[in-house]
Structure 1
Amino acid sequence: MSVDTMQDTSLQLGQTLKSKRQAMGWSLDRTAQETGVSKAMLGQIERGESSPTIATLWKIATGFNVALSEFTDPLDRQLDTELRQADQLRHQPAQDQMLVASLFPYDPALGYELFELTLLPGYERQSEPHAEGVTEAVIVIRGEMELLFDGQWHPMREGDAVRFAADRPHGYRNLGQTAAVFHNLIHYRHHRD
């Protein structure tokens, strides 16, 4: 990713965060309380001075009670039929070594969002529980990875699929020498506005 693209992504993310915060009528202090992300970090993100990790983006999305794709792909899409290509959508929205293609951003009528995620070699992230009732389905489409759910790491190979409760601790890692690519469908049980 070029420096210009990273700066554009940081600025877009900052604008999205600020507009959501203002729409809620929240100060930076209140936003820090709701998200568990420090006021200083939130200010840096809003000013485009910091590119957060995916884990930080999840904390922010959870604090606002919105889907992750509202920060990674905030464009409003109201089409019934839409052709999207992962190669054109794939980017690095955060500072960690995960590439994200938001294949279908969150749609409140359907209650889910679908990502293509790429874990670069050596990547590991343990995720805090998402909101109550959130489930994830993971389908490995290339490479090998490990997925943490039910308290243990499970090996996943190309073609393997699993659905798990994401309102519990879980994680993703790639201990191999090549990238691991998977589809991640995140379903929100409760209607989200």
Structure 2
Amino acid sequence: MRTVARSVRAARARLGLSLDRLAQRSGVSKGALVALENGTGNPNLTTLVRLADALAVPVSALVESAPSAGVHVVRADEIDPLWRGASDGTVRLLFTTPGPAPLELWDWRMRPGEHHRSAPHPAGTHETLTVTAGTTALTVDGTEYALPEGASAHYAADVAHGYACAGDEPCAFLMTVHLPAAPAAPPDPRQHHHQGEQ
């Protein structure tokens, strides 16, 4: 959790946000933020997504160290799950592409009866979901879609949405999250002041 603590502090400082303001933007309590930044909190997937949305960064920017250059090979079984369902389903964030509008790749495995709900992401966020096993129930803005193995869906994720394992067999799907370009950091007033003195 030290990586998360450092990453949240750095992103908050870059945007010039107080703990109170970040709590308002994210819906995460100030107490939880203080614990997280002190390295004593243990945020769940929902909290990480809320913080990433509020800080305009991908989730990986909070949970991973900076990627090395070159080819980055990822094995799902070497990555700790960010979510565990009641019946031992898992979700892992495999990687996030670099650049101003990153793309996250998630590996979801769910068992019958498991579900996960997500609050709306920032405007401009889109998701794609491709079912690799079983049947996944995708709900977007209150409408449910049953997606069998081999089916894919693309949707705007700036509305409430969720995923569930439909039927009696486990399901698995790969999900990409296409993030909008991050807003520019606010200008540093000290830089402007110094430039004016020259």
Quick check: TM above 0.5? Answer: yes
CA RMSD of aligned residues (A): 2.5
Q: 2:138 and 2:43 mapped to 1: Cα distance?
A: 22
Q: Which runs of 4+ in 1 moved over 4 A?
A: 94-98, 175-178
**5+ unaligned residues in a row in structure 1: which ranges?**
1-9
CA-to-partner distance for each residue in 1:9-47, whole Å, 9 max, x for gaps?
A: x34323332332234343321221221211012123233
| 1:88 corresponding residue in structure 2 | 78
Q: In structure 1, what residue type is equivalent to 2:45?
A: I
1:35 aligns with 2:21: no
Structure 1 pair 176–188 and aligned structure 2 pair: CA distance change class (3 A): same
Preserved contact between residue 115 and residue 162 of structure 2 (Cα < 8 Å): yes
Question: Match of 2:77, SS?
Answer: helix
**Counterpart in the other structure of 2:47:** 56
Q: CA contact under 8 A between 1:141 and 1:158: conserved in structure 2?
A: yes
Aligned residue in 1 for 2:99: 108
Q: How does 1:1-193 map to 2 (within 5 A)?
A: 10-72=1-63, 74-89=64-79, 91-94=80-83, 99-108=90-99, 111-176=102-167, 178-191=169-182
Aligned AA (2:102): G
Q: Deviations over 1:69-124 (max 9, x none)?
A: 2224x2222534332222222x2225765633332214225631211122344322
Aligned letter for 1:27? Answer: S
2:112/2:169 contact within 8 Å kept: yes
Structure 1 residue 163: deviation in Å?
0.5
* Greater C-alpha Rg: 2
Q: Which amino acid aligns with 2:69?
A: L
Contact 1:113 1:186 in 2 (8 A): yes
Q: Which runs of 5+ in 2 are unaligned?
A: 185-198
Partners of 2:148 and 2:166 in 1: how far apart?
12
State the one-letter code of the partner of 2:44: T
Q: Distance in 2 between matches of 1:130 and 1:11?
A: 25
Query: Please, which moves more after superposition, 113-122 or 63-72?
Result: 113-122
Give the whole-Å Cα distance in 1 for the aligned partners of 2:83 and 2:23. Answer: 19
Aligned 8 A contact 1:66 1:192 in 2? no
Contact 2:101–2:181 (8 Å) recurs in 1: no
User: For 1:107, what is the secondary structure of its paired residue?
Assistant: coil
Equivalent position amino acid for 1:155 in 2 = A
Q: Partner amino acid for 1:157?
A: P
TM-score, normalised relative to structure 1: 0.79
